[in-house]
Amino acid sequence: MTLLLVRHGESEGNVRGLIQGQRDEPLTEHGRRQAAAVAERLKADGGADRLVASPLARAFATAEAIGEAVGLAVTTDERLMEYDFGELSGLTVLQARERYPDWTWLSDRSGPMRSPVPGEEGLAAFDARVAEAVAELMAFDGRTIAVVHGGVVVSALNVAMRMHGAAEAAGRRVRFPMKNCGISELDQDEAGRLIVRRHNDASHLPPRPSQGA
């Protein structure tokens, strides 16, 4: 049982520095190149038995590129969608902090959310749906590629850390940087705990073309 978590390619929202959340943003041209590169990497690594993706456009388009390379159809799972930031969606971080001074970025939080923004999902609900999806994906007897969002990868890795007591000992969420089209790999030990085999593998990614090239 192996789960390969792939973050989507660069989106227009990424370039503009937006808090995207569940707002749909298309891939940039560079994001499409990243998707093609990770697709070839996964094909070279032996492909997979199943391909699942967030239904948001930036993830689904990345998954389609992978599916063409490895010969799999894409199925979607709404539980793999990005965290819902509510009224913060579409704002920059600076705009969000100006509008909601008590708001803190997800990785800076510990304990319950103090001042939820209208429409914001909440970390407990987010982590619960990601954990449920990951448990079902890990129950599959084979290799699964899941094309998701950075927040989903961080949540899944924190689920793994909590199984070993590491995240709880720190009293907060563990930060995990995640590049567009980077790969993280999870499997299970004999006790059923998630093991992080690799994280943020981006060795396959093309460099960004220089301006004017």
> Which residues does the annotation mark as catalytic?
8, 149
Q: Is 182 exposed, middle or buried (0-12, 13-18, 19+ CB in 10 A)?
A: buried
Can you tell me the distance from the alpha carbon of 31 to that of 27, in angstroms, rounded to the nearest whole number? 5
Yes or no: say if 54 and 77 are a contact pair by the CB < 8 Å rule. yes
Beta strands 183-188; 194-201: pairing state: antiparallel
| DSSP code for 27 | B
Tell me how far CA of residue 108 lies from CA of 60, 111, 187, in angstroms.
29, 10, 28
What is the C-alpha radius of gyration for the chain, rounded to an integer number of angstroms?
17
Can you tell me the distance from the alpha carbon of 130 to that of 146, in angstroms, rounded to the nearest whole number? 12
Max alpha carbon distance in the chain (Å)?
A: 54
SS3 category, 199: strand
Can you tell me the distance from the alpha carbon of 179 to that of 50, in angstroms, rounded to the nearest whole number? 23
Q: Which two structure tokens, joined as six digits, stand for 176? A: 């995990």
